[in-house]
């Protein structure tokens, strides 16, 4: 499978913030969730891939095109919904769509008309008077109707009410199902991505913490309730993200890279496993982030 987006050892430095040696690969046709706390570097990474910021070192390709050398070709097949609205506020909804269509040769005006009705947008309303939800819908509409191979969504539902959020995300899901497009979606709303994404990358403090298929991300991380001399579990075949002991001989561990056969390895060391619990994406995200920060501090 080729990569729709590829970062190779990308570095970018600005006052008070740096991205160092960022390498990531977004498989073509995937819905890639880009997670991270505020200030982790998600938006900066997106701006780098779209040529909005100059790359300090390393290389970026988008849809097989080098950025920034072949940027216009890459952008012709990329729909972008930024974190903050960026459209001309004095235009009306219809005028903004017309302007967008003028620059995108594959823009589907008929579908734009359908989405205007579906999203209940008033074509003659000036953008300056749109609510946050309406603006979010318009941004998605414009990005979808240009029929991109790649959709880059930067916090597309941040601050939207649940109804609008559902409308926006279902439009994206329908589009992906129909066109097999790639979606790169950045968000700190982890639950939202859990249902949507099949790949996940986690950023923190300008670095990629982890990147893997969503299934591995969720299944590989477990909470173990252990009883017995856990000190015998040194050199475990899994990564221990956190340990807590509420009473002697009883501990709760959160572990990564877990596989079912590892229960035997633990049993063999005289430690009983009371329970192996699944973690949802948010818990897994928080545990991985916490572990990474502890390692960084150490």
Question: Contact between 80 and other proteins (CB under 8 A)?
Answer: yes
User: Whose Cβ is closer to other proteins: residue 128's or residue 212's?
Assistant: 128
What gap in Å lies between CA 232 and CA 251, rounded to an integer? 13
CB 206 within 8 A of CB 18: yes
Residue 57 within binding range of other proteins, rule CB under 8 A = no
Q: Let me know: does 61 contact 25? Beta carbons within 8 Å.
A: no
Between CA 288 and CA 297 the distance in angstroms is: 14
Cα distances (angstroms) measured from residue 24 to each of 9, 27, 31:
9, 10, 14
Q: Does 166 interact with other proteins (rule: CB under 8 A)?
A: no
52 binds other proteins (CB under 8 A): yes
- Residue 267 and residue 234 in contact, taking contact as beta carbons nearer than 8 Å: no
When binding is defined by CB under 8 A, the residue of 103, 109, 122, 212 that contacts other proteins is 103
**Cβ–Cβ < 8 Å for 9, 30:** no
Closer residue to other proteins (CB): 138 or 271: 138
Q: Which of 4, 50, 130, 241 binds other proteins (CB under 8 A)?
A: 50
Residue 274 near residue 226 (C-beta atoms within 8 A): yes
Give, as ranges, the residues between 83 and 102 that touch other proteins (CB under 8 A): 84-91, 95, 98-99, 102
Q: Which is nearer to other proteins, 186 or 210 (by Cβ)?
A: 186
Q: Which residues are CB-neighbours of 295 under 8 A, at least 6 positions away?
A: none
Backbone angles phi, psi at 199, to 5 degrees: -130, 155
Residue 99 or 245 with smaller CB distance to other proteins: 99
Task: Determine, following the binding rule CB under 8 A, whether residue 51 of this chain makes contact with other proteins.
Answer: yes
User: Which residue number, 72 or 162, has a Cβ lying nearer to other proteins?
Assistant: 72
CB of 47 to other proteins, least distance (A): 8
Tokens 């302007």 appear where? 99
Q: Does the footprint of other proteins cover residue 63 (CB under 8 A)? A: no
**Minimum Å distance from CB 29 to other proteins?**
22
Residues of this chain that bind other proteins (CB under 8 A):
50-52, 72-73, 75-76, 78, 80, 82, 84-91, 95, 98-99, 102-104
């Amino acid at each position: 499978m080729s990569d729709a987006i590829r970062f190779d050892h990308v570095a970018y430095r600005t006052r008070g913030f740096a991205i160092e040696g960022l390498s990531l690969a977004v498989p073509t046709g995937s819905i890639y969730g880009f997670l991270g706390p505020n200030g982790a570097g998600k938006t900066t990474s997106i701006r780098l891939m779209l040529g909005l910021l100059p790359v300090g070192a390393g290389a970026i390709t988008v849809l097989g095109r080098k950025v920034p050398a072949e940027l216009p070709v890459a952008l012709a097949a990329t729909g972008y919904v930024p974190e903050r609205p960026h459209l001309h506020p004095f235009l009306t909804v219809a005028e903004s769509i017309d302007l967008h269509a003028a620059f995108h040769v594959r823009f589907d005006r008929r579908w734009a008309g359908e989405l205007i009705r579906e999203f209940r947008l008033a074509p003659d309303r000036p953008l300056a008077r749109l609510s946050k939800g309406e603006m979010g819908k318009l941004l998605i509409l414009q990005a979808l109707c240009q029929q991109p191979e790649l959709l880059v969504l930067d916090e597309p539902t941040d601050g939207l009410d649940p109804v609008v959020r559902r409308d926006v995300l279902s439009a994206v899901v329908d589009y992906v199902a129909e066109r097999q497009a790639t979606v790169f979606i950045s968000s700190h709303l982890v639950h939202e991505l859990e249902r949507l994404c099949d790949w996940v990358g986690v950023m923190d403090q300008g670095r990629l913490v982890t990147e893997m298929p969503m299934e591995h991300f969720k299944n590989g991380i477990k909470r173990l309730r252990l009883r017995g001399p856990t000190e015998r579990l040194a050199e475990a075949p899994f990564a221990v993200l956190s340990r807590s002991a509420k009473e002697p001989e009883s501990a709760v561990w959160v572990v990564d890279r877990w596989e079912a056969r590892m229960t035997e390895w633990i049993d063999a060391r005289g430690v009983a496993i009371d329970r192996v619990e699944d973690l949802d994406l948010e818990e897994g995200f928080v545990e991985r982030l916490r572990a990474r920060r502890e390692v960084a501090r150490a």
